[in-house]
Amino acid sequence: MTHLDTCYLIAFIDKSDDMHRSHKRDIVRATESKNKHEAYKITMPAIGEAFHKINEKRNAARKRDAFKTLEDLLNRGVIEVVGLGVSRDVFRYAREIMDECGDEYPNSKVTPMDALITANAIVDCECVKLYTEDNTLTMNSKLHSIIDEARTHLGYDKKLTICSFEY
């Protein structure tokens, strides 16, 4: 099972987004493939952040299209919305990520939204991949350690990998 970070959700639902254009081949294959086995999971924090960013573009037609595309992807089972797992654990791990990798660490600056989305993936025992475009997450050794330790602490046997999206 794979979780998507906000940047990919925006690229999936907003055709005018820069990343949609730069990743068009992969996105079209991921959203149009008839052989896809499993839906990409997105969390409410990612949806909230995505629409907040889409709203900043101030184009009414684009905002409506994004909702329409999101609905279509949900109906076709390409993406699925998942709730907060055990919320106490989600916030505990999000706080731990911020403590270790937050704004005061210039080389590993993780935002609160990144922390929440990552923590959601951590507590989802079925999640094995979190797709994000952000190299400050994928290349963040402290974050990788937190994830590995959290998964061990939770008693999960599946490893969670953070990397960029490809299909």
Partner 1 sequence: MSKPGSEKLISAVAKAWGKEIRVRSFNDRLVMQKGCFLLNDMGVLPRYKFRLYIRGPYSSELADDYYELLKGNMIPSDTDVGSGYIEELSGIMSKGIPYLEAYSTLILARGYNPEMNASELKDFVLKIKPALKKEVEEAATSPIFR
The answer to whether residues 71 and 113 touch, using CB atoms and an 8 Å cutoff, is no
- Interface with partner 1 (CB under 8 A), residue from 32, 38, 149, 166: 166
Q: What is the CA 23 to chain-centroid distance, rounded?
A: 16
Pick the binder of partner 1 from 140, 146, 150, 160 (CB under 8 A). Answer: 140
Tell me the two tokens of residue 14: 């907003």
31 counts as binding partner 1 under rule CB under 8 A: no
Binding flag, residue 22, partner 1 (CB under 8 A): yes
DSSP code for 38: S
Residue 25 or 88 having the CB closest to partner 1: 25
133 is a site residue for partner 1 (CB under 8 A): yes
Q: Is 2 in the site for partner 1 (CB under 8 A)?
A: no
Residue 111 binding partner 1, by CB under 8 A = no
Residue 135 tokens, joined: 């190299």
Is residue 163 close enough to count as binding partner 1 by CB under 8 A?
yes
CA dihedral defined by 118, 123, 124, 128, rounded to 10 degrees? Answer: 60
Q: Does 152 bind partner 1 (CB under 8 A)?
A: no
Q: Where are the alpha helices (DSSP H) in the chain?
A: 6-13, 18-22, 24-32, 44-56, 60-75, 87-101, 112-123, 135-138, 141-154
The site for partner 1 (CB under 8 A) is made up of 22-23, 25-26, 107, 129, 133, 135-136, 138-141, 144-145, 148, 159, 161, 163-166
